[in-house]
Amino acid sequence: MADTGTDQGSSSDLRMGSLEVRLAESAAEIDWAQALRYRVFYEEMSAVPSPDMAARHRDFDDFDTICDHLLVIDHARGDGPDSVVGTYRLIRRPAAAKAGRFYSSDEYDIGRLLSYPGEILELGRSCVDAAYRTRGSSMQLLWRGIAAYVFHHDIAVMFGCASLPGTDPVAMAEPLAYLHHFHLAPEELRPVALPERYVGMDLMPRDQIDPKRALTVLPPLIKGYLRLGGFIGDGAVIDHQFNTTDVSIVVKTDLITNKYSKHYERRSRDAQIA
């Protein structure tokens, strides 16, 4: 995996029991990730597939052939589609250049991010098999894989869209307003929802928000980004295909790279001492 970006960590950091995190290495493994995405997004979460997706039982688009796919593989489930139990899609500038855009640009003006001088990475299509969500190890491995990838490619900023279930912003007024008032991205990094899709998130005054209550409603993935110091873009977007309300996430990778670098510096010193 020397050229895939997850070789910077030791095998013990990228494996937990029968689980392993690594990048997809073949078209077949990308197909397995698409099968997991279909099960989660369309069969479980009731997104609306295209006729071609429904016929193939796969979630796919034009980005899948040009980006990197991070996989959590359970070797106890054999070698096939069922072995992929977690996935993330990773798009860097070279892949976006081939596609002519980043995926998020369908919902947000990301011009400020595109002008950022450092390397940027778009995260998307994150999902974990239902049987593995309560175990925690799958998501933990995905984050370790992302940390290795970020470290390897010297990524300065990660971004993407994260979703709240449902398409009624009023029903999500407190969590959306909480994100707007407490975690709005600095202007120089702030994505803004496209005018034709913009839904205001400032649905409650700041002083009427109970942050603890708002946090309990937020999906675990968004809370994970916030724990990393993540920011939220200006405006939400309704995605009727996926039956979600999307927000734009921006994460500066300082916390990730510092922790990751110190971790492996310590491991290297320990190995030298041993």
64-78 pLDDT, tens digit each: 999 999 999 999 998
- Regarding predicted confidence, which is higher, 10 or 218? 218
**pLDDT interval class at 136 (50, 70, 90):** confident
End-to-end CA distance of the chain: 27
All domains in the chain, ordered by first residue: 15-272 (3.40.630.30)
φ and ψ of 62, to 5 deg: -70, -20
Three-state SS at 40: helix
Counting Cβ atoms within 10 Å, is residue 117 exposed (0-12), middle (13-18) or buried (19+)?
A: exposed
Taking the mean position of all CA atoms in its chain, how far away is CA 217?
19
**Interstrand relation of 155-165 and 231-232 (parallel, antiparallel or unpaired):** unpaired
Average pLDDT on 260-267 reads 53
Tokens matching residue 143: 């984050």
Q: Which helix (H) or strand (E) holds 1?
A: none
**pLDDT interval class at 31 (50, 70, 90):** very high
Query: CB atoms < 10 A from the CB of 1, how many?
Result: 13
Measured distance CA(244)–CA(233) in Å, rounded: 16
**pLDDT interval class at 5 (50, 70, 90):** low
> Which pTM value belongs to this model?
0.89
163-194 pLDDT, tens digit each: 999 999 999 999 999 999 999 999 999 999 99
